[in-house]
Amino acid sequence: MENSPEMQRFLQQEQQRAMIGETVSKLTSVCWDKCITSTPGSKFSSGESTCLANCAQRFLDMSVIIAKRFEMQ
């Protein structure tokens, strides 16, 4: 089986897509559990919206910090 540069790029892109999907799933789960305390209606309360936005931002900030740490090693 040939390991062409195109195949390697394709595999790398697919790995990145999978990691992004996992991150979004984890982010959704963690922030939902933290911020949504009751069954939501047709829209989130202002407190829930603020909590979700802050939670997502902190989660993404930490993901960037962790990724940079791995790059340095």
Buried b (16+ CB within 10 A) or exposed e, 48-65: beebbeebbeebeeeeee
Each of the 73 residues of the chain gets a pLDDT tens digit; together they read 567 889 888 998 898 888 888 888 888 899 999 999 888 788 899 999 999 999 999 988 988 888 888 777 6
The CATH code for residues 5-72 is 1.10.287.810
Token pair 């897509």: residue: 17
CB-based contacts of 27: which residues, under 8 Å, 6+ apart? 55, 56, 59, 60
Q: What is the pLDDT of residue 73?
A: 62
